[in-house]
Structure 1
Amino acid sequence: MEERESTEIKVARFSSCRGVAFEINPNRSNPFAIGSPTKQGRVGTWIWLPWTRNNSFKVLPQPHAISPTQSRASSHFCDIDIDASDVEVEFIAEVQDVEKPDKANGVKVKKLVPKTDLSRRSRLSVILLDQGFTSYKGLFLVCMALNLVALALSAAGYYPYAKTRTALFSIGNILALTLSRSEAVLRVIFWLAVKTLGRPCVSLRIKTATTSFLQSVGGIHSGCGVSSIAWLVYSLVLTFKNKEKTSPEIIGVAFTILSLILLSSLAAFPLVRHLHHNVFERIHRFAGWMALILLWLFILLSISYEPNSHTYDLTISKVVKKQECWFTLAITVLIIIPWLSVRKVQVSVSAPSNHASIIKFEGGVQAGLLGRISPSPLLEWHAFGIISDGKKEHMMLAGAVGDFTKSLISTPPKHLWVRTMHFAGLPYLVNLYERVLLVATGSGICVFLSFLLQPSKADVYLIWVAKDIELNFGREIRELVNKYSKEKVIAHDTSISGRPNVAEMSVNAAIRWNVEVVIVTSNPEGSRDILRACNRANIAAFGPIWDS
């Protein structure tokens, strides 16, 4: 007698779009060397979605790309049907079909077994180790190297200016890391890049290099963060060697600042950040604010302290002459700017299924921008791609993978906190190119839909792979896609046609449509596979990185 054993456990799944680094190869070669996991000898098929009876979509043949597996109940919503909203990290139940021999009867029995610890390790390795050498890591190393060289020269006596201004170097690194994360500054930089380099006369190599740099500025943020700690430690070591020239109050404040920055850096460590994102966000925010307040106190105490009399004498003339004051003022302004745009606004939330919700806001938004929303602005913010025709309203598609996104379905709010200053990311850089292939899985489609609804500098093509498209995402989203040119869309419903080889599908489409670049929003493994396939085919491709 055959027995079917079934077990299901919850394993860590990272649904953050910040999972896989870009890979760039602008020179194109024969893509047919890419191996397909499907069996050889299969013929191409035409795939028609349920709503294509009126020829609203033309879905192109995908030779060797379709795996005719039958979809199960959607524990895989964040796999092929991924929520690609920013920084959402949750535990998703996942099971895996494995055929195992039944020892008693000598027959094979299909068993639902949990993915092993290797799966969890491999998901984290995708985020951290399985990317190769990226621009993010390159920028991190450059920042670290420059600071370590300056530190070494200072310690050796060859750079006396740095030895006497260690606090300035630490604050300078904090200013650099703040600039590299300022959404206002980056919005201007992205706009300038598109305006100056988004011209046909600019070479593809320059455009892809610019994209890789702008996507990876987080490397400057983290590199300068670690460097600021190094300079602060060095400053404290020198202070202890000359205790008579400072006061216990100044040393105490400096130690507290160092402790807060260390705490903030540890909270940003990838393992902590992905498994406990809310903890990371709150520590990073509140520890940073407290460190900034104490930094002002440290500067004012240092400027006003008189070592001979062991007293404090603070005057305006002393303050305005110190570079440390101006650097700290710039940091303070950059941190305050986003909070000036925070508003509580009326929203309309609908749920086409228990897998996703659609949040609507007033006002049109430019294509490629992202926005942040929050139920409690001091505690948490969630970033999503914005869908808009650029006219009267915009909306966000939120996959239900976390407590907040699930609450949008169970108890739809009438008001949410928003930052009216939207920010630019990788999708905005579509405007740099002339012909672009956008590849999305699941609710990752939301970040691309504006390019289908608004006139764009780029000629845009789309591949969307998702499960139960109309059932999970609703008729409205389906109709938005349906409005776009049927010759430029491949929509694949995995509940009907099985799970495809999205990597091979993407390469074939990129060659067919002769695009300059492929831009992906998927889960870490999916993005990695597509980017590697494009790399082997020498097609420029970009996908989300864990700290973009």
Structure 2
Amino acid sequence: MSQSSVQDSATFNEKDVLAKPADVHMVSAKSSITFELEPAAAALPKDDLAASESLEEKESSLSLDEKAISWEDFRNDDYSDKKQGRLARNLRFQIFNIYRRLFSVVFIANMAIFIAFCVRGASVPKLGEIAIANLFVAILCRQDYVINALFLILCAAPKSWPLWVRLKLCRVYSLPGGTHSGSAVSGTVWLILFVGQATRDFVDGGEVSAATLGVTYSILLLLLVIILFAYPSLRSKRHDTFEYFHRFMGWTVVALVWAQVILLNNDYKGTQSLARALRTNPTFWLVVVLTASIALPWTRLRKETVRSEVLSNHALRLYFDYDEPVPGSFVRISNDPLLDWHSFATISEPGKKGFSVVISRAGDWTSAMIASPPPQIWVKGIPVTGVMRIVPLFRRVVVVATGSGIGPCAPHVFAKRSAIQLLWSAPNVRETFGDKLVDSLLEASPNAVIYDTRKNGKPDMVKLVARMVKEFEAEAVCIISNPSLTRKVVYGMMSRGVPAFGAIWDS
């Protein structure tokens, strides 16, 4: 996804004050933003009934380019109404965000037990069981069906429930990521203790074999490399490397864990057979389930026929016919299933079979796709729900998208399960994404704001969203944009007491 970053503030020239609705389009009964007709239409006699009726008909049939909107009071908005002191709000909304809180809960709980085991001591098999249990949770909470089930259950709450309850349920979108990373890091720490205890046991001539010890050291080394490249700053700089390490080293770890479980059970089986030792050991069944969890999406690997629509030299729309995903879902596609996978939001419309995805130019892969759209493409697993799945929990919500971020937002506009005020900001909107998509959004949501940054400059998005929240009386804000702008808008709203949600880029 490629969007323009938005600066903290923006000045508007005189030419920015009146913007054509192809650039900015807004209808709001409570808004101080006003519609103005073109001079020729405004000059019609007001006392002439026929002329008035003709004017109304003409206004309703005018293209968006023939209307104008005044933004004179926008730049004078005062939005310096943050609810807490600088230190308190930075700690709450930036340093200890929901993702990090979930990570901390999982990690601290593990470390409390870890310290107790260090003081009281524990057997090698018990430490191995705890380490694998953490890896089991880390893998299972990122499984497609588990994620969809969590969203399905927690986002099924009726809008009549108190807002504070629904806001708690919204945290489901951070649950898989925070739990995944917390459990994975905790499992690695437990494995370090396991290695230390197993090494001591081996040196003292205990049950642990050299083969078990060698496999365990290999697992620990691979997990440390995976965690290193998963560190946020390194992951963003070397994302392809992170993906390759995460996938191929992860598969290697699973294979080695199988070897470790078999070898360790063989070391401690005593007089019983190895088969019985494995069958009665819970660790063995944890490994069975986590392996099936990883393999399941790959059992649904197939090549799907797609219909392509080149929107511009910057964007492509692909149409699929095989599923009808719920709003807020994404699908993973690839030209080479063993290497690169790319996730794109699904755009589905009620009553229409299939879905589409919008791909915008953001690198070599997307550029090649736009230049030469494929007739078929690899698809893995099922459509998986993400952060935008929470939109139906709110009665009234401001949905913000920049560039191709409109993809996750559009299905909610079409579904109309909540009252939505859409803000879509992008350069050369119609030229880039085509009239078909723009007009379908405006047809479904006539009050949508489509802001062309190429013609009107970059606005202060926090100020603009704050204005919309106030006028629309929204319960929350959901934004799909680049990382910097998402964090800026989410912080800007949360620090002013407005619930706001956006992607967290945890994978």
Q: TM-score, normalised by structure 2?
A: 0.82
In structure 1, the residue matched to 2:370 is 409
Change (3 A) 1:59 1:194: farther
One-letter amino acid of the structure 1 residue matched with residue 321 of structure 2: E
Cα drift, residue 347 of structure 1: 1.1
Q: Distance in 1 between matches of 2:383 and 2:460?
A: 34
Find 2:484's aligned residue among 508, 511, 525: 525
Question: Quick one: which of 93, 117, 138 aligns to 1:177?
Answer: 138
Determine the structure 2 residue equivalent to 1:193. Answer: 154
1:431 to 386, 392, 403: 392
Tell me, yes or no, if the aligned pair for 2:269 and 2:277 is still in contact at 8 Å. Answer: no
The equivalences for 1:207-218 within 5 A come to 207-218=166-177
Alpha-carbon displacement from aligned partner over 1:227-282 (angstroms, at most 9, x marks no partner): 11111111111112211221111111111111121121122122332122121111
2:349 counterpart letter in structure 1: D
Residue aligning to 2:217: 255
Secondary structure at 1:416's aligned position in 2?
strand
Q: 1:264 and 2:226 equivalent?
A: yes
Q: How does 1:141-540 map to 2 (within 5 A)?
A: 141-157=104-120, 160=121, 165-195=126-156, 197=157, 199-243=158-202, 244=205, 245-305=207-267, 314-363=273-322, 364-390=324-350, 391-454=352-415, 456-486=416-446, 488-540=447-499
**CA distance in 2 between partners of 1:427 and 1:526 (Å):** 17
Q: Pick from 30, 43, 48: which aligns with 2:21? A: 48
Q: Distance in 2 between matches of 1:360 and 1:171?
A: 41
The residue identity in structure 2 corresponding to 1:358 is R
Question: What is the deviation of 1:138?
Answer: 1.0
What residue in structure 2 maps to residue 85 of structure 1?
none
How much has 1:440 moved relative to structure 2? 0.6
Q: Tell me the secondary structure at the aligned position of residue 242 of structure 1.
A: helix
More strand by share: 1
Separation in 2 of the partners of 1:41 and 1:411? 42
| Amino acid of the structure 2 residue aligned with 1:135 | I
Deviations 1:382-422 (A, max 9, x none): 11111111422311111111221111112211111113510
Paired with 1:326 and 1:56, the residues of 2 have a C-alpha distance of: 63
1:50–1:284 CA distance, 2 compared to 1 (3 A): closer
Tell me the secondary structure at the aligned position of residue 401 of structure 1. Answer: coil
Q: C-alpha distance in 1, partners of 2:273/2:123?
A: 24
Deviation of residue 473 (structure 1)? 1.1
**Structure 1 residue 324: deviation in Å?**
0.6
Contact 2:18 2:68 in 1 (8 A): no
The structure with higher relative contact order (CA 8 Å, sep 6+) is 1
Shift of 1:350: 2.7
- TM-fit CA distance, 1:431: 1.6
Q: Secondary structure at the match of 2:425?
A: strand
**Equivalent in the alignment of 1:122:** none
Cross-structure match for 1:140 = 103
Q: Identity rate of aligned residues, in percent? A: 27
What code does the residue aligned with 1:153 have? A
**Whole-angstrom CA distance in 2 between matches of 1:205 and 1:410:** 47
CA contact (8 A) 1:349 1:408 kept: no
Structure 2: segments with no counterpart, 5+ residues: 26-58, 77-90
CA 1:278–1:46 in structure 2 vs 1: closer, same or farther (change >3 Å)?
Answer: closer
Q: 1:495, 1:41 → 2: CA distance?
A: 16
Q: Distance in 1 between matches of 2:280 and 2:3?
A: 45
1:358-399 deviation line (CA, Å, top 9, x unaligned)? 111114332221111111111121111111114223111111
- Greater fraction helix: 2
Q: Return the alpha-carbon distance in structure 1 between the equivalents of residues 72 and 337 of structure 2.
A: 49
Q: Alpha-carbon deviations, 1:435-458, whole Å to 9, x = none?
A: 11101111111111112223x431
Change in CA separation of 1:63 and 1:369 when aligned onto 2, cut-off 3 Å: farther
> Displacement of 1:202 after TM fit?
1.6
SS for the counterpart of 1:350 is: strand
Counting only pairs closer than 5 Å after superposition, residues 87-166 of structure 1 correspond to structure 2 as: 131-157=94-120, 160=121, 165-166=126-127
**Secondary structure, in 3 states, of the residue corresponding to 1:436?**
strand
Structure 1 CA distance, aligned partners of 2:366 and 2:428? 19
Hey, what's the Cα distance between the residues in 2 that align with 1:16 and 1:240? 52
Please give the alpha-carbon distance, in whole angstroms, between the structure 2 residues aligned to 1:200 and 1:473: 33
Does the Cα contact within 8 Å between 1:264 and 1:287 map onto a contact in 2? yes
Quick one: distance in 2 between partners of 1:218 and 1:16?
24
Unpaired stretches in structure 1, ≥5 consecutive residues: 1-13, 20-34, 68-127
Name the Cα RMSD after superposition.
3.0
Q: Which deviates more, 270-279 or 457-466?
A: 270-279
Partner AA of 2:149 in structure 1:
V
